[in-house]
Amino acid sequence: MDLFEERMRGGCSFCTCAGKHVFLPVKETVACLMEQVHFLQKTYRFKSFVIGSENPFRFIEQLIHQMVEEDINIEILAIRSRVDWVNKNKSVLLNVIGIAKKNNFRISLQQLGFESFLQSDLDVYNKGYKVTENHKAVELIRKLKDIAPRNFQDGGHGFIGINPWITLRDLGKYCESADNMQFLFDLFHFGNGLVLYDSCLPIYQKLKKDGLLIEYKADLDRWRFKDKNISRFLNNFHSGLGDKAWPGRVEYA
């Protein structure tokens, strides 16, 4: 119940974690990660590692310096974060890529929750920042590719499918942004849809309140569009042109 009440106060609709986070100090964090790195490389000969933190920038430079100092063999070091945190830590990211360039390994920036290039989507899903942050992050990714093409890659990012409250006007903007995104990223999959993992999500309760929730006893719950014209349009679109003409597939009633 405490978790449920906390989630109802807001926060990203894709996260089921509580809003309060307890972090180890940087020195202890690096020591903990180095212990895992040594084990994985010695036992399984791993050369690629993923840092499982949404906010790696507070310790990433110290970690990489330690890995280099202890002669860890690195091919790829993948990090993930939020779009707005990436923008705020641009200088850290540039420093990290500089170290990667000097020591001949690759930094992979993964799973940035772009979600959408429509402000209405970001608001619906409680992302907590303006769409301009997404555009700034795209420009930063382009810059990093130019600076270090062999030592930086964008490793795939999160984009939502069309949402239950989308209008016909927004649908046109969505299609336009989908076409544009195809040319910006190495790994790109648009239209993965909204998956209702948990009833503690604010988006779940919003769907329920608006009468758009489709509850399943033996499967994940789904949703229907608020505007029935959207459903009619997409049904006709798919039947007339096929899946290849649409950037992604969604569940809808």
Q: Is residue 189 part of a domain?
A: no
Residue matched to tokens 């459903």 = 231
Q: Is residue 57 part of a domain?
A: yes
Two structure tokens written together for 207: 């769907």
Residue matched to tokens 């942050």 = 133
Q: Is residue 58 part of a domain?
A: yes
Indicate the pairing of strand 213-214 with strand 152-154.
Answer: unpaired
Per-residue pLDDT of the chain (253 residues; tens, 9 = 90+): 666 666 666 667 776 554 556 678 999 999 999 999 999 999 999 999 999 888 899 999 999 999 999 999 999 999 999 899 999 999 999 999 999 999 999 999 998 888 888 898 888 888 888 999 999 999 999 999 999 999 999 888 877 778 899 888 888 887 777 666 665 665 555 445 678 877 878 888 889 999 999 998 888 899 999 998 888 887 776 665 444 444 333 443 3
Q: Is residue 72 part of a domain?
A: yes
- 139-158 per-position pLDDT tens digit: 999 999 999 999 999 888 87
Q: Is 227 exposed, middle or buried (0-12, 13-18, 19+ CB in 10 A)?
A: middle
Q: Is residue 136 part of a domain?
A: yes
Q: Supply the DSSP string of the chain, one letter for each residue.
A: -HHHHHHHT---TT--S-S------HHHHHHHHHHHHHHHHHHH---EEEE--S-GGGTHHHHHHHHHHTT---SEEEEE--HHHHHHTHHHHHHHHHHHHHHT-EEEEE----B-S-HHHHHHTT--S-THHHHHHHHHHHHHHHH-TTTEEE----B----TT--HHHHHHHHHHHHHHTTT-SS--------B--TTSHHHHHHHHTT-EE--SSS-BEE--SSHHHHHHHHHHHHHH-GGGSS------
Q: Is residue 77 part of a domain?
A: yes
Provide the domain limits for residue 154: 23-158
Q: Rounded CA gap, 98 and 81, in Å?
A: 19
Number of domains in the chain: 1
pLDDT of residue 196: 83
- Give the torsion sign (CA, 32, 38, 43, 48): positive
Q: Is residue 52 part of a domain?
A: yes
Contacts of residue 172, defined as CB under 8 A and 6 or more positions apart, other chains included, come to none
Residue matched to tokens 């309760």 = 205
Two structure tokens written together for 164: 């239950």
Per the DSSP assignment, residues forming a β-bridge with 214 are 222
Q: Is residue 229 part of a domain?
A: no
pLDDT of residue 7: 60
Q: How many other CB atoms are there within 10 angstroms of residue 218's CB atom?
A: 4
